[in-house]
Chains A and B, each alone.
Chain A
């Protein structure tokens, strides 16, 4: 293995560290209610839009009859796509039509927009639209999709992807096995519930489409809208409004709304604003992929692991979105924090007649981590070893071969992190003394930072600029969006620190594709690590040529660490440049009468390289854990006839301030040479491990193994009853 050369060590000012908290630059405007989110934007002559939706999960459209429209109202559908445009929402593929015209593949799919000045009238007109369908047999489960019930929805086999990984010699391992343990794990949908519902404002004027949107990825929107209108990307301008939460839900999904609104604006020559109401948002926007993962482990006579065979199945929904990439991350995370020799992994993403699943914090990793963490926990119990001790024997370390036959190039501090969290939580004593109905669980996990494989180099090719103004201000030019993760503060801190200027002299506006280069999407735990590093390097360049009172510009292009090796065809090599690492401990009590779980204590420790701002990291750790515990036990989406039963905020329960206790957080430093000041990605690792730690705690409390999420009181009761016999 070639030893790679890191860049020069970062310099720190004596005394104050960059990680010392500063008030976020946007906090006052947001708290005051003066920051403008998408629906707050007022534009002269704007028309509102409402989506006319399919009421069937799978059907051919035979006819669509619109009611008579009063003056000032119009229905917009596939007929209004301009020549040269396309009726396809270009994400990775454009298989998802902007307006369904021949068939519908999920309940709630867009058939048309009705546009006009009064939203009450729009609701009425949408309701009065009559669509004639020829129903087909819908597919709601992976099982039904596997056998292509009702004929394939997609291609000939309903598979958006079928991937295979192979490490070592799994066949030999299974031949040599004294024992094989097989288990299956299931997780359900999760809805993002960003507090700001999705929305956009499209305005076609003088041959250009200007789009304002609640979004994580302005350049994705530009690409999709240009494709829809056939107008060339240079004729599309996207401006990110303040975005009230994303979590992956505003990574690709905004393309669905923006393309429809853009077509409408182009057809009518008026600005068109499309904002979802919450119930629409819950029912019809992208969700976390449900998973069904089977793990078979070959054990030797002493109970040691010889190899694993993992079959990962994700329910992708009606169209592809980024399911293939979610699946990739899921299978790359199959063995989690462990070095398992001899692994065979198969991953499939299945088409179903449900709203398409897409990015959601963790992006396939939480599903894989739940499976591997619970499985290792169960193997430990079968071996008569405490899960902590069983799991730690298998930790990955620097130099380990990953499941894609890549390398862990950086120090892995899991052992040191484990010692700290065991001490902080008094884990062993609590585990030993837990009375019936009480339990404590621990999870270990990692998260590959940034885009898979060579994605940063070959697909994104991120670029940033710094513009020094004559008055001494420096403007950051990047398309990164602050969705609450503190990016607008963290980026400024990096630049200010390198240049040695006060934070207040660094400017960073909300992304406008006319004004900033494409530094890549705001996702994949890449913004600080990849884009922040580009800013650090750009700032060093600028510092080196700084001329007082002059206007200067420097640009920085992404440069791929040369030691990384990746074969995108075979999915082999270094899937990620580096990893974040985490350990979570959750302590619970289960009510003996109602089986309601009460989370008593939570401890977390993370290696995210180095925190650009400790308070930002702390807030992310709290929020990630809250969302993970919601995923673990509160958030439930059940499907009936293609509609989610929990379709309102009353019924889809996210945690309130009274549901969970304060969350303890700790960080361990492990600087990464290609991250700014050593920082790695953090946005997703803070979510990844909460559910398995919770589930392990529930297991101890009820004396039964768990293998599915969410662990609602209903499920806990059923497991406890089964265990009681």
Chain B
């Protein structure tokens, strides 16, 4: 049976990770389900396990150099309650699992699990967040969008541990997110959106839109973002607006690659994703020029 390690420092953890090819174990809420072998049986870990929860260096939650640094083992419960965290990410954390899951599950775990339906991911993509990866010898940073390469796949190298997530400081004027799940709580995601708009008529505008669970990895919509940035910057008319929204719908429909699975259908995900994008756009245009 494989060994389990419970180091107290990051340095110790990295030595074990490098030396034993150990599996990093944060909250374990995905790993224990994936590898469970039933009651009275040890879960089927094929490599030694590295419990990270005692490494306080991985629990940072601080403002640093224009970004919020979130340690990889910060729990979803902590994320949901911290005033330093963007309200949308707080809301997303609160929408994941149930209270017990949130006490154990971590941001880092959600990222490294790399599920196409990972709930924190659209927010991180929309905010163009980065990850800090650390090994015994080195440290490197990557955009989250580069770190995640496919379902269950990341660029984490052997010997590396995800140290923290860097969320750039940004307080967009308009924030919109929605999780369409299999039920109202403790639900897996069928489609999700995180969308933000900043700026106003006559001023530079920045729009970021990300969709989850509609492709192998999160989908950004650069075409729609540019269309909307332009529309928010210029003053448009109603006819123009209707045609713009139609164009946005077409772009969104074309950008997603959803599948049929046990939770939902490609057809449903495609239409609902487009509905959510168009709803964001419609709402953002309606709020344009308003004081908020």
Chain A residues at the B interface, C-beta cutoff of 8 Å: 39, 48, 118-120, 122-123, 275, 277, 592-596, 634, 638, 645-646, 650-651, 653, 655-659, 713-714, 717-718
Chain B neighbourhood of A594, CB < 8 A? 178, 180, 191, 272, 275-276
A contact patch SS: loop
- 15 pairs from A and B in contact (CB 8 Å cutoff): A119-B38, A123-B38, A277-B39, A593-B279, A594-B191, A594-B276, A634-B183, A650-B33, A651-B262, A651-B263, A653-B187, A714-B265, A714-B268, A717-B267, A718-B267
The verdict on A120 contacting B37 (CB below 8 Å), with A657-B185, A658-B185, A659-B183 known, is: yes
Per the bound structure, the CA–CA distance linking A120 and B43 in Å amounts to 9
Which residue of B39, B183, B187, B261 has the most chain A CB atoms within 10 A of its CB atom? Answer: B183
Q: Which residues of A contact B272 (CB under 8 A)?
A: 593-595, 717
Contact of B39 among A119, A592, A593, A718 (CB under 8 A): A119
Contact B268 A713 (CB under 8 A): yes
| Closest B residue, CB atoms, query A640 | B262
Known interface pairs A593-B279, A656-B183, A714-B265; A120-B41 also in contact (CB < 8 Å) = yes
CB distance from B242 to the nearest CB of A (A): 17
Residues of the B chain whose Cβ atoms lie less than 8 Å from the Cβ of A658:
184-185
Cβ of B264 within 8 Å of any chain A Cβ, yes or no, is yes
Q: How far is the CA of A363 from the CA of B45 in the complex (A)?
A: 43
Within 8 A of A (CB), among B18-42: 33, 37-42
Instruction: Bin chain B's interface residue count.
Output: 20 to 34
What is the distance, in angstroms, from B118's C-beta to the closest C-beta of chain A?
Answer: 14
Q: Mark B116-132, 1 if CB is under 8 A from A, else 0.
A: 00000000000000000
A-B contact count (CB 8 A): 73
Chain B residue with Cβ nearest A713: B268
New contact pairs (5) apart from A120-B42, A123-B38, A651-B262, CB-CB < 8 Å = A277-B39, A593-B276, A651-B182, A657-B185, A718-B267
Residue in contact with A119 in the complex, picked from B40, B265, B271, CB distance below 8 Å:
B40
**In the complex, A596→B262 CA distance in Å?**
17
Q: In the complex the two chains form, is A659's CB within 8 Å of B185's CB?
A: yes
Residue of chain B at shortest CB distance from A652 = B262
Q: How far is the CA of A714 from the CA of B182 in the complex (A)?
A: 11
B148 interface contact, C-beta 8 A: no
Residues of chain B within 8 A (CB-CB) of A595 are 268, 272
Cα–Cα, bound, A651→B182 (Å): 8
A657 to B38, CA, bound (A): 27
* Closest residue of B by beta carbon distance from A633: B183
Q: Is the CB of A655 within 8 A of B276?
A: no
CB distance from A678 to the nearest CB of B (A): 39
**How far is A717 from B41 in the complex, measured between Cα atoms in Å?**
43
Interface residues of B in 32-60 (CB under 8 A from A): 33, 37-42
Closest to B188 in A: A650
Chain A residues whose C-beta falls within 8 Å of the C-beta of B188 in the assembled complex: 650-651
Cross-interface CB contact of A645 among B37, B39, B262, B279, cutoff 8 Å: B262
Complex: chain A residue closest to B276, CB-CB: A593
The verdict on B82 contacting chain A, using a C-beta distance below 8 Å, is no
Q: Mark B161-196, 1 if CB is under 8 A from A, else 0.
A: 000000000000000001010111111100100000
Chain A nearest Cβ from B192, distance in angstroms:
11
Q: Is the CB of A593 within 8 A of B186?
A: no
Within the complex, the shortest CB–CB distance from B45 to chain A, in Å, comes to: 12
Q: Which residues of A contact B271 (CB under 8 A)?
A: 717
Is B40 in contact with A120, judged by CB distance below 8 angstroms?
Answer: yes
